[in-house]
Structure 1
């Protein structure tokens, strides 16, 4: 099964040793029989059609879904086309937000601030710890979306759109080393110091990222009418 990865951002220049964001997801989903191809939509590089992959994944980004960038409207069109074609799609962080926006929801910079580092969510009655890095949130979900993950800080942390699209606000592709790098680069002077230190103190605690990867693989592979 071929998974197309739509890259809506790039890692900080000082953290390129791990490759671009498509490689982070390829590593996360290694061993499930997928092949991968990435498109840097943030640079205006798009697939010709939704038929170019069997499933799609939209990555995180430093940009806001509500910002005025030339690549955002065609990305929203692509999302709706993939949904209409019933091509399975997963969105992570910005991907979660842009899918919600494309489908009629609303995204904004959250007034209560940031969630960074190891964060616990209620996912269908189970507590799941995943690394997060965001201030923007889906504040109004699309009418058709069902909440699949939440916590007191982020009410719409996971959304399910029938059996076609599943999106998550946190980052299962981020290990503690990447969070450490973000703390030292993009976090300084942007995220309050107390939150940075709180995230740093939890770097060695385990997360459920591999369990989420298994669920992502199952979502892509599930039989659909």
Structure 2
């Protein structure tokens, strides 16, 4: 199965030499599932046109420094692409900004949260278990880095992950072919730490220090990657 990575942003320039391009993180994550995926990439944030979802086997919409409320020329075409993919039931995953733009395009409300920065490893309660998550435990600990949040999910979405900080952290959609997560299962711990350190001066020092300390908590990113792999293979 080929996954088309819709790139909406990339690793920040100061970290790119060390950690590589963003697409490689997703490819490494998907390779770890053993599902034998192959990959293509469309850099919509660099001006590449969105493809026809009918021609795609699976879609992955990445994170970005952009917000859904920004005035950027590629956002409306991306919204139209998401709605088209949803209608055609092309399997689609959104992560962080991808999670937010999917919710925005499908009728939800996304804003910069008054709660501020979410950094480091957060723990999310599993509220619902779709078939591909049938074996999920009561909670999952996954890295995050965001200020924006899905405030109100689309009517088509069901919340599957939640926390006090991020109530709508995971969404499964009623067409059976769309899934999104606010946290980043593709992030390795060293990259999560480097991102948190980059937020010094933007996020409060105590939020950064808490984020750095949180990495001592065991990660469930591998389990989440497995669920995502099963989601795509089950389509």
Q: CA deviation at 1:48?
A: 2.9
- Aligned residues of 2:127 and 2:162 also touching (Cα < 8 A): no
Q: What is the CA-CA distance between 1:202 and the residue it aligns to? A: 2.3
Task: Tell me which of 179, 189, 214 is aligned to 1:166.
Answer: 179
Judge which range, 155-164 or 208-217, deviates more: 155-164
**Corresponding position of 1:41:** 44
2:125 and 2:162 in contact (8 A); partners too: yes
Question: Matched residues in 2 for 1:190 and 1:46: separation?
Answer: 33
Structure 2 contact 117–147 (Cα < 8 Å) conserved: yes
Residue in structure 1 matching 2:53, options 50, 55, 58: 50
SS of the counterpart of 2:168?
coil
Query: In the alignment, which residue of structure 1 is the partner of 2:157?
Result: 145
Aligned length: 222
Aligned-pair RMSD on alpha carbons? Answer: 1.2
1:133 alignment partner in structure 2: 145
1:22 aligns to 2:35 (yes or no): no
Q: Is the 8 A contact 1:176 1:204 kept in 2?
A: no
| Over 4 Å off, 4+ runs | none
* SS of aligned partner of 1:57: strand
- Mean Cα deviation higher: 44-53 or 4-13: 44-53
1:195 to 207, 216, 224: 207
Q: Distance in 2 between matches of 1:67 and 1:47?
A: 18
Candidates 184, 189, 193, aligned match of 1:180: 193
Aligned ranges 1:58-137 → 2 under 5 Å: 58-124=61-127, 126-137=138-149
Structure 1: gaps of 5 or more residues: none
Q: TM (normalized to structure 1)?
A: 0.95
- Listed one character per residue, the Cα deviations across residues 133-172 of structure 1 (whole Å, up to 9, x for unaligned) are 1110011111111111101111111111121101000000
Q: Deviations over 1:13-46 (max 9, x none)?
A: 1211332211111000102110011111111113
Kindly indicate whether the alpha-carbon contact (under 8 Å) linking 2:50 and 2:77 is maintained by their aligned counterparts in 1. no
Question: Paired residue for 2:234?
Answer: 222
Report the secondary structure of 1:4's partner residue.
strand
SS in 1 for 2:203: coil
